[in-house]
Amino acid sequence: MSTPAPTPAPALVDLGPVAQLRAGRLAHRLVQLHVGLVLYGVSLAMMVRGDLGLAPWDVLHSGLARYLPLDLGQVLIVVSFLVLLAWIPLREVPGYGTIANAIVLGLAADATLAVLERPDDVAARLALMLGGILACGTATACYIGAQLGRGPRDGLMTGLHRRTGLSLRLVRTALEITVVVLGLALGGHLGPGTVLFALTIGPITQALLPAFVVALPTPADVGGGAPVSDASR
C-alpha cells in the first residue's frame, strides 16, 4: 500500500489591503493578528525588564525615549508611523495589520512595563530575556500567519529589497546595523540579548510559522497578488 503524500503547509500570499479582508476566515485572522501583536508588545517589555539587551529596533526606541517626553511604547508608535512615511516612495501599500502593528505593539509594551518590574536576580533577568525572545518569535509567526499585512519595519525591508534588487538578508542586516548604531549614539541599551535576538529570531519564527499560517485562497482567487517567502523579521 502506498503512503499518502503529506498535505502541503498553507502558503503565505501577498494580497492588497482589500483582498486581505476579503480572503476569508476574517474573524479568526483578526483575533490571531491581535493576539500576536499583544504578545509581541509583552515580549518587548520582558526584554526591557530582563535588562540584558534589546532587539535592534528597540535599541533605537530606548535611545529616543531618553530624549523625548514619551514612554517606550509611545516612541515605538511614533517611529512606526515615521517608517510608514518611507513606504510612500517605495510604493508599499499598508494593510489593516500594518496600522494595527504600529499601534498595538506600543500600547501592549507600555501596559506590560507598567506591571512588570525588573528583578534583581540575574537568573530571573536571563529567563525574562530568553522568554522574551521566544515570545517574540511566536508573536511574529502569529501575526504574519494571519495574513493581514506587513508591519511597518517589515514593509520597509521588503520595499527596499524590491526597489534596490539587494537580497532581503542584506537589506535587513543593513537596516538593523543602522538602527543599532543610531540607538547606541542616543544611549540605547545594547547587550548580549541584542546579539542573541538577531541570531535566533529568524530561525524561531520560521520554525513556528507553518503552525500559524492561515490557509487562504490563491492570490488569483481573491484579486491579485503573489506568493511570498517565509522570510520574516
- Residues of the chain with pLDDT > 70, as a percent, come to 89
Other CB atoms within a 10 A radius of the CB of residue 138 amount to: 20
- pLDDT at residue 11 in the model: 77
53-58: average pLDDT: 94
Lowest mean pLDDT among 16-30, 39-53, 206-220: 206-220
Question: pLDDT band for position 51 (50/70/90)?
Answer: very high
171-179: average pLDDT: 91
- Residues of the chain with pLDDT > 90, as a percent, come to 67
Instruction: Judge contact between 97 and 103, C-beta under 8 A.
Output: no
Higher pLDDT, 2 or 68: 68
Sign of the dihedral through C-alpha 79, 89, 175, 138 = positive
CA distances to 2, 54, 139 from 211, rounded to whole Å, are: 27, 26, 12
Q: Which of 77, 87, 64 is nearest to 154 (CA)?
A: 87
Q: What is the DSSP string of 75-95?
A: HHHHHHHHHHHHHHHHT----
Other CB atoms within a 10 A radius of the CB of residue 122 amount to: 11
Mean pLDDT of the chain: 88
- pLDDT at residue 217 in the model: 72
Residue 50 has pLDDT above 90, yes or no: yes
Burial of 26 (0-12, 13-18, 19+ CB in 10 A): middle
Residue 221 has pLDDT above 90, yes or no: no
Q: State if pTM tops 0.85.
A: yes
Higher pLDDT, 190 or 111: 111
- pLDDT at residue 2 in the model: 52
Instruction: Judge contact between 110 and 71, C-beta under 8 A.
Output: yes
**Any bridge partners for residue 1, and if so which?**
none
- pLDDT at residue 107 in the model: 97
- pLDDT at residue 24 in the model: 86
Residue 229 has pLDDT above 50, yes or no: no
- pLDDT at residue 218 in the model: 60
Q: Where do the domains of the chain lie?
A: 13-214
Higher pLDDT, 3 or 126: 126
Instruction: Judge contact between 176 and 198, C-beta under 8 A.
Output: yes
Distance of CA 172 to the CA centre of its chain: 12
- Does residue 144 sit in helix, strand or coil? helix
81-104: average pLDDT: 93
Instruction: Judge contact between 190 and 57, C-beta under 8 A.
Output: no
Distance, CA of 166 to CA of 24 (rounded, Å)? 33
- pLDDT at residue 220 in the model: 52
- pLDDT at residue 188 in the model: 92
Higher pLDDT, 147 or 168: 147
